[in-house]
Amino acid sequence: MSASIHTSVLPAEVMSYLAIEPGMTVVDGTLGGGGHTRLLVEAVGPTGRVIALDRDPAAIERGARELAGKPIRFAQANFCDLPEVLDAVGLERVDRVLLDIGLSSDQLADHERGFSFDSDGPLDLRFDPTEGEPAWRMINRLRPETLADIIYEFGEERFSRRIARRIADARGQTPIRSSRDLARIVMSAVPRQRPPARIHPATRTFQALRIAVNEELKSLRIALERIPTRLAPGGRLAVISFHSLEDRLVKEAFRNRQVWENLTKSPIEAGDDETLRNPRSRSAKLRAAQVLLAPPTPAG
């Protein structure tokens, strides 16, 4: 397995809002390429500890190798299952939690996973290849109306009906298996724009399928409900999202003044210097909040 090529977004802003002190226990709920995790380890120092989660077994394997020897406990898990992870290591509360919701450059580069439009590998799109249904199976079995709804709701794609009909026509001749095949079908359904759009025509469709396959919005909704119960009083949660639906969930959760003190009245976005260095950061939005009084840990 090659070294990570992922560049973490908003690193300085994340560390500023988390305000980590030496000796704290911090959770990185989305290990990814490990960039944020390294910063967290440096901040907690030798007396603190970091717990790093990721649904992707490849990310856990890479992180365990590249961050060996550091005070990190790795767990292949969905961040919505944080309470169970903490129970397994004998922890009731933690001081800080970071969630970076989105796709890593390492996943895009893995042509066997199907995240890249140019991949001839199977259109899988699952973070954990052992869970759920691969995207190729989903698009070959769903009714065009259902498929269009997914593409519209999760991808905010205005040509969703046209794309779904074109997918249905294509799969009627040959089942769709690869990412490249799907990208070509979508491109044939979306009218060409003048000037050309900044993003690939298939971006929203792939995003929608990935969100559906991994049940990403459901996971985030559950996490936002459960994480406060495992934060110490005054603990902080920072969330980086790349999709308006995700950002909306975080915004609504942090509006609960019985649980949270919202530290970011509006989302923090990358500056010009960072977007030039890392174009992926253009769509990143950071929100942070401090728990007011941690609710009791649920029994069981």
Neighbours of 75 (CB within 10 A): 18
pLDDT of residue 23: 97
Q: How confident is the model at residue 31 (pLDDT cuts 50, 70, 90)?
A: very high
CB 206 within 8 A of CB 178: no
pLDDT of residue 106: 60
Q: How far apart, in whole angstroms, are the C-alpha atoms of residue 18 and residue 289?
A: 9
Q: Are strands 94-100 and 231-241 parallel, antiparallel or unpaired?
A: parallel
Mean pLDDT of 77-97: 97
Is residue 230 over pLDDT 70? yes
Is residue 98 over pLDDT 70? yes
pLDDT of residue 197: 67
The upper half-sphere exposure of residue 201, i.e. CA atoms within 13 Å in the direction of its Cβ, equals 20
Is residue 269 over pLDDT 90? yes
Mean pLDDT of 112-138: 88
Q: How confident is the model at residue 5 (pLDDT cuts 50, 70, 90)?
A: low
* Domain boundaries 11-106+217-291, CATH class: alpha beta
Mean pLDDT of 61-86: 94
Q: pLDDT digits over 160-183, tens only? A: 999 999 999 999 999 999 999 999
Is residue 2 over pLDDT 60? no
Q: How far apart, in whole angstroms, are the C-alpha atoms of residue 247 and residue 266?
A: 11
pLDDT of residue 200: 86
Report H helices in the chain.
11-18, 35-44, 57-66, 82-88, 105-109, 135-141, 144-155, 160-173, 179-189, 203-214, 216-226, 244-254, 272-277
- Report how far apart, in Å, the C-alpha atoms of 289 and of each of 97, 134, 200, 231 are: 10, 35, 34, 11
Indicate the domain borders of the chain: 11-106+217-291, 108-215
Average pLDDT in the chain: 91
Mean pLDDT of 56-83: 94
Mean pLDDT of 231-254: 95
Give the domain 108-215 fold: DNA polymerase; domain 1 (1.10.150)
Q: How confident is the model at residue 3 (pLDDT cuts 50, 70, 90)?
A: low
pLDDT of residue 36: 93
pLDDT of residue 170: 97
Q: How confident is the model at residue 54 (pLDDT cuts 50, 70, 90)?
A: very high
In CATH terms, are 11-106+217-291 and 108-215 the same topology?
no
Count of all residues that appear for the chain in the document? 300
pLDDT of residue 238: 98
Q: How confident is the model at residue 114 (pLDDT cuts 50, 70, 90)?
A: confident
pTM of the model: 0.90
pLDDT of residue 40: 97
Q: pLDDT digits over 181-211, tens only? A: 999 999 999 988 766 667 889 999 999 999 9
Mean pLDDT of 79-94: 97
pLDDT of residue 282: 87
* Structure-token pair, residue 216: 């990403």
Is residue 47 over pLDDT 60? yes
Is residue 294 over pLDDT 80? no
pLDDT of residue 174: 96
